[in-house]
Chains A and B, each alone.
Chain A
């Protein structure tokens, strides 16, 4: 599948989905979004140090989990990636393996899937997870985008014009 970005903003990239989904590691239950920036990029013994625990508390239909990072108490919840979508970890193809002819056109903006996941645990520092948290709300974009890009059906147009008429 090719993924065409907004050409106006100059985003063009390709995500190579050649690797079948069963080949890449499944990180479901292991993807965490922390309320901090860790200035490090690389492997770490996460599961030995980061130990989320269920609290038994439930707020706004979210099961609250608790963990500690660098002495701070984090409260979080695990959200499923919405139906019809999947989470992927993508990485740039290593340049060494590629022939120079490959990278001509798109300036090697080619990505490949290195892992997939079906949920994300997001964490707040000091506050309970809530439906008004930016991350929970960011997922709204998916349904908004779907509505925006769906071809308009005849009845939608009709009802829209009726609504417009009424406004006048």
Chain B
């Protein structure tokens, strides 16, 4: 989603952009990256529009401001909505991608998108994820023509980032409000609450929607630590991929091994259980096809 596709005249003059995220902490729903951009010459006017850090505003006020900025032809915006299924899948891949990486890639993706639209970005302000200096270097290497300012609390320091935070937050809230659950089991409700692990409404929703075999509906980020506390109520699932990694860990670094074994989402008791047929000690034809001879069943 983004503002109108016809490139406004001001976009060919030097522009500034702010990038911020919403929904990084919640255990469910999408994470949204938003950006807002305008001509550098418009920066002063922008600061009179009373975009404040979205967290300090009430929901109705945010909605109102979002509608205002959408109607403002001197402002452009775009969002990247990262589906919770994508978050879980990336963080539980064989080679895990952590949330910081996903965040960095999303922000970079927004910069690329706006550049490709033909907007002349010269200064980009980013609310940091992880170490600000490392993040700034990473972004500057990817986009050498742009000057990046990466800061903590950028959303309250720079109006252009405050604007981006409103774009992101409103999009995330709407996405969750309109979320259509993929799962079709009976008695499913949509009283997710805010999605933050501490929210009593979210807690009670998780409690009610856990499933012994499937875990949770795919709205939930399975890679979140919050989910681990429910695993005792669930059937154990052992993954081939985890096993392969553990088997191969003797050759990889100890650090990596530690990281993997501390990852408690799947199971704590992997050991040497056979979870699939192996064809071990048979001829190569069978080994390659994992065809085992069963003597008892």
A in complex with B: yes
Residues of B196-249 whose CB lies within 8 A of A: 211-215, 217-218, 220-223, 227, 235-241
B93 touches A126 (CB 8 A): yes
A70 touches B183 (CB 8 A): no
Residue of B nearest to A144 (CB): B285
Residue-wise interface mask of B (263-275) relative to A, using a CB-CB cutoff of 8 A (1 in contact, 0 not): 0011000000101
A49 interface neighbour in B211, B221, B223, B273, Cβ under 8 Å: B211
Q: Name the prevailing secondary structure of the A interface residues.
A: mixed
Number of chain A residues whose Cβ lies closer than 8 Å to a Cβ of chain B: 32
Residue of A nearest to B239 (CB): A36
* B180 contacts the other chain (CB 8 A): no
* A141 contacts the other chain (CB 8 A): yes
Complex Cα spacing A39 to B237, Å:
6
Most buried by B among A36, A70, A126: A70
9-residue interface stretch from B115-123, B159-167, B287-295: B287-295
**Chain A positions within 8 Å of B184 at CB level:** 47-48
A40 touches B92 (CB 8 A): no
Complex Cα spacing A121 to B265, Å:
25
A35 touches B241 (CB 8 A): yes
Residue of A nearest to B221 (CB): A71
A48 touches B88 (CB 8 A): no
* A154 contacts the other chain (CB 8 A): no
* B276 contacts the other chain (CB 8 A): yes
B222 interface neighbour in A44, A71, A144, Cβ under 8 Å: A71
B88 touches A68 (CB 8 A): yes
B183 touches A49 (CB 8 A): yes
Contacts A9-B295, A37-B275, A140-B289 known; A71 to B215 CB distance under 8 Å? Answer: yes
B88 interface neighbour in A10, A49, A71, A140, Cβ under 8 Å: A71
Binding site for A on B (CB under 8 A): 85, 88-89, 91-94, 182-185, 211-215, 217-218, 220-223, 227, 235-241, 265-266, 273, 275-276, 285-286, 288-291, 293-295
**CB<8 Å pairs between A and B, sample of 22:** A9-B293, A36-B237, A36-B240, A37-B237, A37-B275, A37-B276, A38-B213, A44-B212, A45-B185, A48-B183, A49-B217, A68-B89, A71-B85, A71-B220, A71-B221, A71-B265, A72-B89, A72-B93, A125-B239, A126-B94, A126-B241, A137-B288
